[in-house]
Amino acid sequence: MPSALRRFTLGAGLAALTGCGAATAPDPATRGLTPPLGRLLQVDGRQVHVVTEGRGPDVILLHGASGNLRDMTFALMPDLVEAGFRVTAFDRPGLGYSDGLHGSGESPAEQARHLARAAEQLDIRRAVVLGQSYGGAVAMAWALERPDQAAAVVTVSGATMPWPGGLGPWYGIAGSALGGATVVPLVASLASENMVRNAVAGIFEPDPVPDGYLDYVGPDLTLRADTLRANARQVGGLKPHIIAQSQRYADLRLPVEILHGTADTIVPHEIHAIPMSQVVPGANLVLLDGAGHMPHHTHRAETVAAVRRAASRAALR
C-alpha cells in the first residue's frame, strides 16, 4: 500500500492527474501555461477556479491528487451534461488555478468547507458530490461538514479509509521549506515528455490512456513547484484526517455510491471501498472487475449510472 500510494503521487505529480464572484483575467504569471477553462471566483479573498455546464440536478466533481478540473471535464462532465445534470467542477485549493488556503496542507474538511462556499455563490443548494481518489476524501468530508448541501456522495477509487503503514519520505521532503526550495524545482525541471507519458500509463493501467487525454489535462500545471509542494503537504498529512473522519461515517444519513476497480493497486478496493461500505449506512458498493484507478475515464457508463442512482436515491430527479 505505501509503495502504491507513493507511486501514484509521484506519478501524478509528473502527469497532472490523479476543478458568485466576478470573473477575473488570468494572472500574467500564468501566460504560456495551459489556461483556465472557466471562471475565477473569489471566496474569502482566495481564487477558486470553476467550470459549470448543463441544466438539471446539480453534480459537483472533485479531482484527485496533483490534478486539476480538466481531469473531470475531459469526458465525465460532457457525459453527465448529456445525462441531464448541471455539472460543476472545481480546482481543489492549492491545485490548478485555485489558491491554497495556507501552507500546511489543507485537510479534506477545510477544502470541503471552502468549496461549499464557492458552490453557494453558484446557487448550488443540494448536489451529488463526486470525488475521485483524494477527491473522494473531500467528497466524504463535504457530506460530514455540509449535509445541508451534499444530497448524496459518489466516490470513484476514493481514498476514504485508513491504510496500513506510511507513505515514504517524499512528502516530508517536498513539503518542507528546504526540500520545497531545492528538490521540488529539480524534480519539475527533469520531467521529460516520455517520463510524463509513462507516469500517466502507470496510473491508468491495466486500462489504456484515452486518446488526447494527456494533451488536454495540462501537465505543466502540475509541474509548477507551488503545485508539487501543495500536493505533497495535502497527501502527506491525509492519513490522520482520514482516521478522524472515518470514525464519523456511521453518522451519515445520505445516499453513498462507492465505485471502485478491483485492479486498482494505487488505492486498493479491499482497504478503502469494502471497509467503507461496511460502516456507511445505506452505502451501495459497485466493484468493477479488472478496472484500474481511473474508471471515470475507462468505465464512463458505470460512473454515470452511479451518479444517476445517487440523484434518484436523494430525490433530486
pLDDT tens, 232-284?
999 999 999 999 999 999 999 999 999 999 999 999 999 999 999 999 998 99
Give the global pTM.
0.90
- Distance (Å, whole) CA 17 – CA 86: 23
Residue 184 inside a domain? The answer is yes
Residue 24 inside a domain? The answer is no
Residue 26 inside a domain? The answer is no
Residue 28 inside a domain? The answer is no
- Distance (Å, whole) CA 26 – CA 260: 36
- Distance (Å, whole) CA 155 – CA 49: 22
E strand or H helix at 14, and its extent?
Answer: helix 2-15
Q: Checking DSSP bridges between strand 127-132 and strand 256-261, what pairing results, if any? A: unpaired
Residue 11 inside a domain? The answer is yes
**Number of domains present in the structure of the chain:** 1
Residue 137 inside a domain? The answer is yes
What CATH number has the domain bearing residue 46? 3.40.50.1820
Residue 121 inside a domain? The answer is yes
| pLDDT tens string 160-199 | 999 998 777 767 787 788 787 787 777 777 777 888 889 8
Domain residue limits at 283 = 2-17+36-313
E strand or H helix at 108, and its extent?
Answer: helix 108-121
Q: With cut-offs at 50, 70 and 90, classify the pLDDT of residue 32.
A: low
Residue 224 inside a domain? The answer is yes
